[in-house]
Amino acid sequence: MYSAFFNIFLGLLFQLNFYAFKGIDILPDIIGYYFIYKGLKNLTTENQFFAMANKLVLPLLMLSIVKIYNFQYHQDLLLSISLGLDIIKIIIFALNMYLIYNLCQGAMKVAESINDDYLERTIGQRLYLFLGIAGFLLVLSIFSLLPFAGVVTAMQFIFTIIYFAYILVFLIMAAGIYNLYKELSPSRVKTVKAKAGGKSSKSKRKR
């Protein structure tokens, strides 16, 4: 099961957008959703949150095709499809927030099952911090669709700051999933069991 969380961690990293070569995303979301789907294959029976995430990931994989290319580099192509693309991207963003919510809630359940209160609490705190920043970014994105040029210009500075905060919080949240992966690794489990065995042996000797 532990390798599934590494695939999810990789999948989350691919959600970050870095455009190069005149509009091509060098970390395509579609590859990220594939890694998440691959990880969830072994987790859907763990709890209801992973089961829900599994239902979301394939539709998101299909929708993410529109984000492979940044059409802003070709304004002539945007005349008739700009609004439609922006709406699809906002829908993807909202669904992705719900996907991440279910992934983190599922991870918290796994942390609870191994009695790791600290990791469970940390993942939860990072999740709700992420949802707060992402929710604000979602609202700003919706407002940017309004036909008020002055409003959009005034929000541009705020949008930029919130976006950088979003990236930072996203990486911190993804690190929580990676920490769970490390905690579940066979070498880590053996070490914990060995320490537990050593303590029990000492207690028996004292008796």
Hey, what are 195's tokens? 């320490």
Q: What angle do CA 175, 180, 186 make, to 5 degrees?
A: 130
Strand runs labelled E in the chain: 19-20, 24-25
The string of pLDDT tens digits covering residues 132-146 is 999 998 988 887 776
- Burial, 178: exposed, middle or buried (Cβ in 10 Å; 0-12, 13-18, 19+)? middle
Look at residue 182 and tell me if it is in a domain: yes
Q: What is the DSSP letter of 207?
A: -
The string of pLDDT tens digits covering residues 108-164 is 999 999 999 999 999 999 999 999 999 998 988 887 776 654 555 666 778 788 889
Give the residue numbers spanning the domain of 86: 2-186
Look at residue 63 and tell me if it is in a domain: yes
Domain tally, the chain: 1
Q: Encode burial over 65-81: b for 16+ CB neighbours within 10 A, e otherwise.
A: eebebeeeeeeeeeeee
Q: Tell me the whole-structure pTM to 2 decimals.
A: 0.81
Look at residue 199 and tell me if it is in a domain: no
